[in-house]
Amino acid sequence: MLGSWIVYTLIATPCIFYTGYALTAHTGCPMWLTAAVYVLLTAAWFAMALIWNLRSNTKVSPRVYTLIAHLGYFMLGFAFLLMCVLGLRDAVWLSAYLLTPFKVASPFEPVTLIPANLWTLGIVGCLSAYALFAAAKMPRVTHYHFTDSRIRRPLKILALSDLHINKTVSPAKVHKFVQYFNALQADVIVLAGDIADDFTQVIGAQLRELKKLQAPQGVYVALGNHEVYYNALQWEATFAALGWQVLHNSGVALENTGVYIGGVPSYAGFMPNPAQALRNAKIDEFRILAAHEPAIAHYPEVQRADVQVSGHTHGGQIFPFHLPVRWGNGGFVSGAYQLDGTMLLVSNGASYWGPPMRLLAPSDVLLLELEPQVNNF
């Protein structure tokens, strides 16, 4: 944990200083206002530290904690977008001013810089408001169709990930999610990790709502990294108590369907073993692998799966965070990727983590519609 905070500090510090400099330098800004800007930026970028410290503090009521968490994470999202928009603005403005023969207003004069900063803050405010709205919406349903001679009958499989249920997510919100998912009338539900983001004893009311998630041929779950952070073994036992089947380097053949579902846990705490998860699949079965991290698709054993369903990336969640997300996840961010004999499907996630915001990365769930292949002679 300490190492992660050191890395985060090394990243956040230059972001704070650049944003503060871009907003205050060459503007004639009084010292007290400059100091206030830097204090606010520091508070925004390090809001996570306060939130995480308060998370286990029993003296802070859930309502107060939820308010602080939502406000703090929103400030972080706003600060990130502000830095990105300022960076784009300054790169274009400076290039035009220094490198082109056109007469461009100086980016170093208060008369031009102050209005530009106000416009930038207004644009970021609008983007943030839209991102809040986008994150609050129910996830869209992304459809994928598969036909194969091994599939014996039509089957609808709902694959979802990244609900991130914690004590800031109300039981009413979980109830709304469950109603939405059940209304899709899937035959099977596959949960590809990060369904929970807290200790089991903290979110008992939310779990009672989550237990209502049902499908005729079962609910199957593979652990994500956030279940690992909050006692993976306890979460496996809790999921089993909900009536779900935990896929921990294991799998199951769905009766009379010709479909086999395997699952592996997150490599945040375990050794994912796709070969073991799929070893009991017969040659005449269509094989689906649930793996939270899409980078597991690079494991050679995954080639035995016809489809891998994953989450974890959130689709980048807030553009342009897509770029480091791609780099950190084996080149995968969102959507479908054809890899040798395996189709990798990466969901943006059903909810969000951290900032309650989504920009150019709408939440989604995957609905796999499987059909037998009809041979016409």
Residue 180 near residue 365, CB atoms below 8 Å: no
Give Cα separations from 111 to 27, 106, 116 (angstroms): 8, 9, 9
What's the rounded Cα separation, in Å, for the pair 222 and 267? 11
State CA 241 to chain mean position distance. 26
Note the helical H segments in the chain. Answer: 2-24, 31-45, 47-55, 62-99, 110-136, 171-182, 204-210, 225-229, 232-241, 274-278, 322-328
Residue 186 near residue 154, CB atoms below 8 Å: no
Short-list 183, 179, 138, 185, CA closest to 365? 138
Phi, psi for 358 (deg, rounded to 5): -140, 130
Residue 172 near residue 203, CB atoms below 8 Å: no
E strand or H helix that includes residue 337: strand 335-339
What's the rounded Cα separation, in Å, for the pair 144 and 345? 9
Residues, the chain, total? 377
What's the rounded Cα separation, in Å, for the pair 62 and 170? 10
Q: Is 303 exposed, middle or buried (0-12, 13-18, 19+ CB in 10 A)?
A: middle
pTM: 0.94
Short-list 321, 371, 315, CA closest to 346? 315
Give Cα separations from 149 to 153, 157, 252, 369, 375 (angstroms): 10, 17, 19, 14, 8
Q: Is 28 exposed, middle or buried (0-12, 13-18, 19+ CB in 10 A)?
A: exposed
pLDDT recorded at residue 303: 82
State CA 304 to chain mean position distance. 26
Domains within the chain, CATH numbers bracketed: 2-135 (no CATH), 139-372 (3.60.21.10)
Report mean pLDDT in 10-residue bins for the chain, 377 residues.
Answer: 84 97 95 97 95 86 93 97 98 93 90 96 98 97 97 97 96 98 98 96 96 97 97 97 97 96 96 96 96 95 92 97 96 95 96 97 98 77
Per-residue tokens: 123: 């644009």
Short-list 252, 349, 250, CA closest to 294? 349
- 87-102 per-residue burial string, b: 16 or more CB within 10 A, e: under 16: eebbeebeeeeeeeee
Residue 132 half-sphere exposure toward CB, CA atoms < 13 A: 14
